[in-house]
Structure 1
Amino acid sequence: SYPYVFKVIKDVFGVTKEVDHATVKRKYQLVKQVDRVGRMADTLEFSHVALPKARFSQELVDELYKLVPSLLEEDGDDLIIKHLYIERRMVPLNIYLETAEKKDRDDLLEDAVCEYGNAIRELAIANIFPGDMLWKNFGVTRYGRVVFYDYDEIEYMTDCNFRRIPPPPNFEAEMSGEVWYSVGKNDIFPEEFETFLLVSEKIRNAFLRHHADLFDAAFWKQAQESIRRGEVRDFFPYPESMRFCNQFELACER
């Protein structure tokens, strides 16, 4: 099996997705133009890729013709994909966390959750909001680093409007299950992240220990203000504890 992932853009998206083929291509191009701060997977873009049909199961071929018929051609023994992206394969973070829980590896779970939050923070400071922050849209490299790899919904931080959910006007509104406040196109409510991130007790505890402030609009607004002031931060692809200034007394003195 290849140590790579082949990604194609679907012809049709779900009704909840406000994107199309051109939008997704534009997002992937945007990633090429920004500082990825070591937290966004590099993608290689190819056109008219010929692959042996013998390498495809019939189930996969059927699924491709269902989702991306406009991108497919057949030429003899080859299946030609007109446009795709290739990324290095990683372990999806949701699967990594599930495996860690099943094996009672609380140390791995804690490290991965901490890494995820650090990735979100570093992307935010670099003016990138992931958009879809589900665990499945992040991967774990062979070195244990958490990296974002799904760019369909990324936005510049400075284009987002981070808000707190206003209190309900009355008890009936709170219990109705309906939204009692207006929501603009670029409005984001960090409090809502808890719903899809804190999926188990262990993950909840680890996340709240390290990154509880990511559920507060104040963190995101402060990051926006820092960007607008033109502040430039350094990013390190290793833990703070590994820096020479924290490893050796002489380095600290200098």
Structure 2
Amino acid sequence: LKVIRDQPTAQYKWGEYAGTDAVLQKYGQVHDINRTGSMLDNIIYYRIRLQTDWFAPDLLEELLSAAGATVSERGPYLFFKHLIVQRRLTPLPVFLQTASPQAAQRAMLNLGYCIKNNTAANIFNKDLDARNYGINRFHKVYLFDYDALEPFTDVKIRTNSDRFDGEEDIPDWFFEDGVIFLPEEIDIGLNIDQRELRRAFREAHGDLLTTDYWERIQNALLAGKVPNIQVYPESCELRQPGT
């Protein structure tokens, strides 16, 4: 169960906050589109009443302080103006803390497929942090947090890879409006501490760190084409004998 905060946390870094209604609209859009098997569905309920004693005191306090514009306490009940319902997943960083090396590397492989599939659906998550992704018991990775989604065709793909070491001039893209994305920084943006897992991600999905990949997908979408999606590794594909 999810409730949208009245104001974003201190980690929010995308200019002016558009408000709760704008975030709910993004969740509604994800519900309506082809989620390519890589975005978690959600249902938004409105005007919900739940018993107050179902909530731990610290959780109740946080709900009323952080989402007081949409959550209120009335007698023995807690009233929600909206409530987002999603299937429960394990947040990816939590999973990686206790997963075996093999399971953790498989999760990183599936994370790359998740990002690629979302992009093919014209969905770009500008908050790349791995905490926005969850994993189910079959080790399939889903994006489940949608407040930072943008149409990928609106994203400006830029790079610093063409700059010289020690070059101090501010790059031209710094002054551009809109959503700027530097592919070479994607593994940093994922905010995954384990170096060996970042390496596994780069080895499996090195194309995600190149502007060529993202520009090719963006150009295909702008031309009205539907890029391929991949919901399982190539090693699991059924093949005809001799191919």
TM-score normalised to structure 1 length: 0.84
| In 2, Cα distance between equivalents of 1:88 and 1:22 | 22
The aligned amino acid for 2:5 is K
Q: Larger % of helix: which?
A: 1
Partner SS for 1:69: coil
| In 1, Cα distance between equivalents of 2:172 and 2:140 | 38
- Please say if residues 220 and 227 of structure 2, whose CA atoms lie closer than 8 Å, have aligned partners that are also in contact: no
- Rg larger in 1 or in 2? 1
CA RMSD of aligned residues (A): 2.3
Alignment correspondent of 2:4: 9
User: More displaced, 185-194 or 32-41?
Assistant: 185-194
- Please say if residues 117 and 230 of structure 2, whose CA atoms lie closer than 8 Å, have aligned partners that are also in contact: no
Asked if 1:132 corresponds to 2:127, the answer is: yes
| In 1, Cα distance between equivalents of 2:57 and 2:79 | 15
Alignment correspondent of 2:104: 109
C-alpha displacement at 1:233, in angstroms? 4.4
C-alpha displacement at 1:141, in angstroms? 1.1
The aligned amino acid for 2:33 is V
| In 1, Cα distance between equivalents of 2:203 and 2:129 | 19
Alignment correspondent of 1:27: 26
Partner SS for 2:86: strand
Note the alpha carbon deviations across 1:75-102, whole angstroms, 9 max, x for none.
33211111110111100011111222xx
C-alpha displacement at 1:237, in angstroms? 4.1
Alignment of 1:45-64 (within 5 A): 45-64=44-63
| In 2, Cα distance between equivalents of 1:170 and 1:76 | 63
Alignment correspondent of 2:223: 229
Note the alpha carbon deviations across 1:186-233, whole angstroms, 9 max, x for none.
221112223233532211221121012211121110111121233234
C-alpha displacement at 1:32, in angstroms? 2.4
Identity of aligned residues (%): 29
The aligned amino acid for 1:149 is F
Change (3 A) 1:224 1:41: same
Note the alpha carbon deviations across 1:114-158, whole angstroms, 9 max, x for none.
000011111111211122111100000122110000111111111
Q: Which runs of 5+ in 2 are unaligned?
A: none
Q: Which runs of 5+ in 1 are unaligned?
A: 1-5
Match of 2:211 among 211, 217, 231: 217
User: More displaced, 79-88 or 195-204?
Assistant: 195-204
Alignment correspondent of 2:86: 87
| In 2, Cα distance between equivalents of 1:68 and 1:242 | 45
Q: How many residues align?
A: 236
| In 1, Cα distance between equivalents of 2:160 and 2:102 | 34
Match of 1:200 among 187, 194, 217: 194
- Please say if residues 217 and 227 of structure 2, whose CA atoms lie closer than 8 Å, have aligned partners that are also in contact: no
Change (3 A) 1:187 1:167: same
TM-score normalised to structure 2 length: 0.87
Match of 1:160 among 143, 155, 175: 155
Alignment correspondent of 2:181: 188
Deviation beyond 6 Å, 4+ runs, structure 1: none
| In 2, Cα distance between equivalents of 1:180 and 1:162 | 13
The aligned amino acid for 1:59 is D
- Please say if residues 166 and 181 of structure 1, whose CA atoms lie closer than 8 Å, have aligned partners that are also in contact: no
Asked if 1:145 corresponds to 2:140, the answer is: yes
